[in-house]
Amino acid sequence: MLAGAAAFTIMGACAHGLRSRCDWQVAMIARSAIPLLLATGMALSAKAKLVLFGPWNLWMRSIAGSLSMMGAFFAFTHLPISQVLTLTNLYPIWVAVLSWPFLGKAPSLDVWLAAAIGVTGVVLIEQPEGEGTGYASMAALSSSLMSGFAMIGLHRLKQIDPRAIVAHFSLVSLLTALGALAVFDHSIALDGLADPISVLLLAGVGLSATIGQFLLTLAFTHGSPARVAVVGLVQVAFGMACDVLLWGQPIGAWTMAGTALVIGPTAWVMLRK
């Protein structure tokens, strides 16, 4: 899980590095297309059954996951990596809250308290001393909410081969990215993609995401899901290191305090029974 968290942090760093080279939609296309090719190839080589139309929960996972990815990549190109990873890692609290209407499991008082503390942390991160910028921060928060929906859908797909789930999700997210490219404004000419550095960064986005997904799957299938998920929160620390070492981005006191208020309750929600 540590290696998987590092891989996803590299993905975020590559996406952040592309912010002046291409629009976020193009980075999302790379994030979707490369895993689609690899997951489909792995499924076919293992003779696993691919699913195109599938049950409603499969579509819920893929559509919600695609919307989550869209919000995350928009945020990665507008905010420091650590801030995006902090906001998107709120999804375990959303899962606990969404389990009420979808799974019939009402959140206990400590979950509501954790959610309130997490929201307080978000407010602190968005103080003037922080690095937040409205739309991008809302996109990152929306990404965490959509991840919650995606996890609820994934919970009900144990009967489908994981490679088929990844392939379906990657296909839907690729179509979503192409739609976003057509619908939303894009200000950077695609001619710049011929630059070798841009190509390397785009490849880094797709390959690191694929490796991270593979390592995450190994971790969750061999260890305690709650404890493995808590280890995954180290992404925030990795992101802070990237911000400081690669871009010289200072980490303010309000941002540090807000991050602690987000990560602490999130870890508590994941560790509780």
Instruction: Determine the pLDDT at residue 190.
Output: 66
C-alpha dist (Å) from residue 211 to 86, 121, 205: 21, 31, 10
pLDDT tens for residues 21-41?
A: 888 889 999 999 998 998 889
Calculate mean pLDDT across residues 112-117: 83
Instruction: Read off the pLDDT of residues 192-230 as tens digits, 9 standing for 90 and up.
Output: 567 888 899 999 999 999 888 778 777 766 666 667 777
- Percent residues over pLDDT 90 in the chain: 18
Q: What pLDDT is recorded for position 129?
A: 44
**131-153 burial string, b = 16+ CB within 10 Å, else e?**
bbeeebbbbbbbbbbbbbbbbbb
| 110 compared with 26, residue with greater pLDDT | 26
pLDDT at 122 over 90: no
Q: Pick from 92, 131, 122, 128: which is nearest to 250 by CA? A: 131
Q: What is the pLDDT of residue 189?
A: 63
Number of separate domains in the chain: 1
The residue-averaged pLDDT of 42-55 equals 84
Domain assignment of residue 257, given as a range: 2-271
**Taking the complete model, does pTM exceed 0.85, yes or no?**
no
Q: What is the pLDDT of residue 173?
A: 92
What's the token pair of residue 102? 């979808």
How far is residue 10's CA from residue 202's CA, in Å, rounded to a whole number?
11
The yes-or-no verdict on residue 147 having pLDDT over 90 is: no
Q: What is the pLDDT of residues 131-142, one digit of tens each?
A: 446 788 889 889
Please determine, for residue 11, whether its predicted confidence score (pLDDT) is greater than 90.
yes
| Range from 98-102, 152-156, 169-173, 231-235 that averages highest in pLDDT | 169-173
Whether 264 has a pLDDT exceeding 90, the answer reads: no
DSSP string, 208-249: HHHHHHHHHHHHHHHS-HHHHHHHHTHHHHHHHHHHHHHH--
